Structure 1
Amino acid sequence: MYAKILVPVDLSNADKAERMVRKAEALLDQGGQIVLMNVVEDLPNYLAIDVPMDIIENAVRDAKSQLAVLKEKSARISSTEIRSGAPAREILAVAEETGADLIIIASHTPDFTNYFIGATADRVVRHAKCSVLVDR
């Protein structure tokens, strides 16, 4: 069905990330590829003063090791991406750069401010140039 699927994962929930990779594998064409990614969010300026300088570097290092573990579990994962910044913007950028024809994104349990799907998933759905599957 799809030749290249982008799977942005929240590494704080490994089970959900693995489930999303399995879902992507089921939707891939023969010879298709999965691009696995994680976004390390920038700290707001008012917090940056009070946290250690290397917190972002440590988060990127942890993300690399966790993505490597996920990549070992699937031969269909062709590459991994780690970005720093606003999650929706970075997901959309990687989708365009890699030529993804599907993004599988997780939605968290909504609160009052983003009732239907999460804020990041909502932005990705509205602005993506390819199909988006929201995993609940």
Structure 2
Amino acid sequence: MFKKIMVPVDLAHKEDLGKALKCAADLAGHYGAEIVYVGVTTNTPSSTAHNAEEYKGKLDAFADEQAEGQGFTAGAEVLVSHDPRSDVDDVLLQAVTDTGADLVVMASHMPNILDYVWPSNGGKIAEHAKCTVMVVRGT
């Protein structure tokens, strides 16, 4: 049913992704799908990496770690943005097309009052992506 699963990853908050990562791994194993972990970063230094190349190395290692012994293949795709906080949704929507994903599995927080003013990343991706999107709440 699914052949390529895109999983957006924020390496600065990877401890909050457990439930979504498990869900994606289970689906990949069940359908024999490939997972592509997608990270959005900037070329300027951040708390996660000094530059996009260093971030790519960390995301590649993360993908290898996730796939190890799990029965699915994984890759990593780093997308560079000038301001990831403001345009992460648009960058991720483009990544859905660029990666050829037919399913997106992404973590999300529990909705709160601010979600009525600014939609969550998961909400925007689910609303605009041209593939199936699974938003997984909780850690």
Is the TM value for this pair above 0.5?
yes
Percent of residue pairs identical:
28
Map of 2:55 onto structure 1: 63
Question: How many pairs were matched up?
Answer: 125
1:18 CA displacement: 4.8
With structure 2 as the length reference, what TM-score do the two structures score?
0.73
- 1:72 is aligned to 2:68: no
Map of 1:13 onto structure 2: 13
**Richer in strand (by share):** 1
With structure 1 as the length reference, what TM-score do the two structures score?
0.74
Map of 1:45 onto structure 2: none
Change in Cα spacing, 1:111 to 1:62, as seen in structure 2 (3 Å) is farther
| 3-state secondary structure, aligned to 1:105 | strand
Q: Residues 101 and 131 of structure 1 are in contact (CA less than 8 Å); yes or no, is this contact kept in structure 2?
A: yes
Change in Cα spacing, 1:112 to 1:15, as seen in structure 2 (3 Å) is same
Cα RMSD (Å) of the superposition?
A: 2.7
Larger radius of gyration: 1
Change in Cα spacing, 1:109 to 1:60, as seen in structure 2 (3 Å) is farther
Q: Residues 36 and 77 of structure 1 are in contact (CA less than 8 Å); yes or no, is this contact kept in structure 2?
A: no
Map of 1:84 onto structure 2: 80
Could you list the per-position Cα deviations for residues 32-58 of structure 1 after superposition, in whole angstroms to 9, with x for gaps in the alignment?
1001011126xxxxxxxxxxx942682
Gaps of 5+ in 1: 42-52
Change in Cα spacing, 1:135 to 1:64, as seen in structure 2 (3 Å) is same
